Amino acid sequence: MGQLDESRFETAIGGGCPACGERALEIRTFLDRTLVMMAGEPNDAGKWAHDGEKFVDGTYRIACTACAHVVFASDACPRCHAEGGLSRALGVASRVVVPKRCASCKELELLAIALIPATTRYVAGETPKPKPLADFGDAGYHVVAYACESCDAAVVAQTCPLCDAPGPLRPRP
């Protein structure tokens, strides 16, 4: 379970900003993104691959869009909850680097999954439309794992993919 679960999340912000009553809040969260990689570079911007529980689980900041009141903020790592891990997660580029070719079969196309920071305007009852806060290669954009469909070889980050704390990682919802 994350810092927030869905019921705490709804209780905290279901009624909008507790300071001014504004319904729209800005949420920052780390979300899953899948990428098709060709020779070490993404083919396109990739696709979101999270669900509602993961959206809540990765949340590290919630603030009002009208009065800037901070409803929730945590500087722990959003993935493993290591203290102070958020600044390491946001300040460092991906430690897992996708190679140009599969090390086993030399295939050029690899599938990668990343955890990346995103921002979204959130109104209770509406589906959020997150926007990435980092591009591939930037600080904060962390490849978690990649795999080759031709030979089933796979590489997974051995430490926390966000802050580099040693495992084992807590399970995600």
**Closest distance to Zn ion from the beta carbon of 156 (Å):** 15
Q: Which of 62, 77, 114, 155 binds Zn ion (CB under 5 A)?
A: 77
Strand partners, 120: 27
Asked if 94 contacts 111 with a C-beta cutoff of 8 angstroms, the reply is no
Decide whether 21 or 45 has the Cβ nearer to Zn ion. Answer: 21
Does the footprint of Zn ion cover residue 97 (CB under 5 A)?
no
Write down the least CB distance from residue 17 to Zn ion, Å.
3
146 close to 113: Cβ distance less than 8 angstroms: yes
- Residue from 9, 79, 146, 157 touching Zn ion (CB under 5 A): that is 79
The answer to whether residue 92 forms part of the interface with Zn ion (CB under 5 A) is no
Residues contacting Zn ion: total by CB under 5 A:
25
Binding mask 43-72 for Zn ion (x = CB under 5 A): ---------------------x-xx-x---
Examine residue 25 and tell whether it contacts Zn ion (CB under 5 A): no
Instruction: Extract the runs of DSSP E, i.e. beta strands, from the chain.
Output: 25-38, 41-42, 47-48, 59-64, 70-73, 109-122, 131-132, 142-147, 154-156
Task: State how far Cα 137 lies from the chain centre.
Answer: 14
**Interface residue with Zn ion, options 63, 93, 123, 165 (CB under 5 A):** 165
Q: How far apart are CA 98 and CA 105, in angstroms?
A: 15
The tokens of 65 are what? 């869009």
Beta-strand relationship, 142-147 and 109-122: antiparallel
Q: Which residues bind Zn ion (CB under 5 A)?
A: 17, 19-20, 22, 64, 66-67, 69, 77, 79-80, 82, 85, 102, 104-105, 107, 148, 150-151, 153, 160, 162-163, 165
